[in-house]
A = this chain, B = another copy of it.
Amino acid sequence: MEKVDEIIQAKWMITCEEKKVLENHSLVIDKNLIKDILPIELAAQKYSATHIEHFATHVVLPGFINTHTHLAMNYFRGLADDLALMDWLNNYIWPAEKKWVSQEFVHDASLFAIAEMIRGGSICFNDMYFFLQQTAKAVDISGIRGAIGMTVINVPTAWAKNPDEYLAKGMEFFQEYKNHPRILTTIAPHGPYTVDDEHLLQIKKIAEDNNLKINMHVHETKDEIQHSLKNYQMRPLARLKKLGLVSPRLIAIHACQLNEEDIKILTDGKPQIVHCPESNMKLASGTCPVARLHSLGLNIALGTDGAASNNDLDMVGEMRSAAFLTKHTTENPATQPALDTIYMATINGAKALGLENITGSLKKGKSADFIAINLDDIETRPLYHADSQVVYAASRNQVSDVWVAGVRLLKKREFTTLDEEAIKTKARNWRNKIMS
């Protein structure tokens, strides 16, 4: 008998390593890593553990990787909805950001957003915002894993006044956090219409020199395409290709507005794609042709986008919307079956961030990042297929437990690292300030 730290016995298990649902398996955890996955009885013969827990009505799976967020925008959730995109940005979101975004705001709002993510089963996120150290502090406090992008944008904010200052502050952050066990730094040019060629080339060099992913909104809206045609006489992806940015290092967020030429550029360059179906539908941005890009060999991850546009950080709901939208747009109910959707929300996110050797699936040697979803509710009974139930019937509140790097961050719906009431009170206080 080998001694280990923890054995998690689960009625159902989805590893995202093999395309099936395991029944009655144990996840064996030691020193914050996954040590083994095997049938419950075999695990009991082979390992003894200080802590053994049985999840009789749960499915255990790698937690979700929310591959596109603007965490601190959580404080603007529902501030303005049902508006045309430029009205929404010009008259509500940008003025609110200009007035309110500060160190304290980003700290409090990021922690609030991380609380929502943990409660919804996300074990990792990929963020783009300002005051990066504050988001990092929220990662430290909470215990979640996260990629934090050093935003570069040709718009002044309280964080930086021009692209050079954004870059300088970003690199400071990178140097400070490059050895953090749960924080990955990316470089995040905001979008083709907000960063000029000179800075994109500089960003490319920094990314290559430091082996950083480039996290960028790409082909989100028709306006973005028009802007590029007018200012650069070519579409944004053609421009990014010309600048040498379209490679597996690029994380292309949205990819809604694609013509055949664009799809060819993506197929040749193989960037990571992040699909944000709810944001794209709600803002009427268009739709990423997920099924087609998948068939062309591209890796497609899933993100919620910021809560001001979506309006939540709920990856369970986002999976359902993603599946529905693909079936709807392909006019084929057989496309994107449930397990593919779960892969999109887990291992594909890890691949997009280059973290696939650390997280994103249940595999020997990977970090003990995983969640349990309780399928015993009326809404998820009777149960024929756990994968279908997760994608088509479960709700975020059925996430019962969340572990990141072997630490249990959510235990039977209760936070272990965060003070829920304090977080809610701060959100209320900020709301009152913003409304006053």
Taking a contact as CB atoms under 8 Å apart, the answer to whether A427 and B382 are in contact is: yes
Taking a contact as CB atoms under 8 Å apart, the answer to whether A393 and B311 are in contact is: yes
Taking a contact as CB atoms under 8 Å apart, the answer to whether B317 and A317 are in contact is: yes
Interface 0/1 of A86-120, CB less than 8 Å to B: 00100000000000000000000000100110011
What residue in chain B is nearest A328 (Cβ atoms)? B281
Q: For the side of the interface on A, what is the size category? A: 35 or more
Residue A85 at the chain B interface, CB threshold 8 Å: yes
> Which single member of B78, B334, B388 contacts A384 (CB below 8 Å)?
B78
Q: With A78-B392, A389-B78, A393-B312 as given contacts, are A382 and B431 in contact (CB-CB < 8 Å)? A: yes
State the oligomeric state as a number of copies. Answer: 2
Q: With A388-B81, A397-B397 as given contacts, are A424 and B378 in contact (CB-CB < 8 Å)? A: yes
Q: Please name all residues of chain B whose beta carbon is closer than 8 Å to the beta carbon of A379 when the two chains form the complex.
A: 116, 119-120, 312, 314, 396
Residue A428 at the chain B interface, CB threshold 8 Å: yes
Q: Please name all residues of chain B whose beta carbon is closer than 8 Å to the beta carbon of A281 when the two chains form the complex.
A: 324-325, 327-328
What residue in chain B is nearest A341 (Cβ atoms)? B82
Residue A435 at the chain B interface, CB threshold 8 Å: yes
Q: Please name all residues of chain B whose beta carbon is closer than 8 Å to the beta carbon of A324 when the two chains form the complex.
A: 278, 281-282, 321
Taking a contact as CB atoms under 8 Å apart, the answer to whether A395 and B393 are in contact is: no
**A122 CB, min distance to chain B CBs, angstroms:** 13
Residue A179 at the chain B interface, CB threshold 8 Å: no
In the A-B complex, list the 7 residue pairs whose CB atoms are closest, starting with the nearest: A382-B431, A281-B324, A82-B337, A311-B392, A281-B328, A78-B388, A397-B397
Interface CB pairs A-B, < 8 A, 29: A78-B383, A78-B393, A81-B337, A84-B334, A112-B378, A112-B381, A115-B378, A119-B379, A278-B324, A280-B328, A281-B324, A282-B333, A282-B392, A284-B328, A284-B333, A311-B392, A312-B393, A317-B395, A321-B324, A376-B424, A378-B420, A378-B424, A379-B396, A381-B424, A381-B427, A382-B427, A382-B428, A383-B431, A384-B431
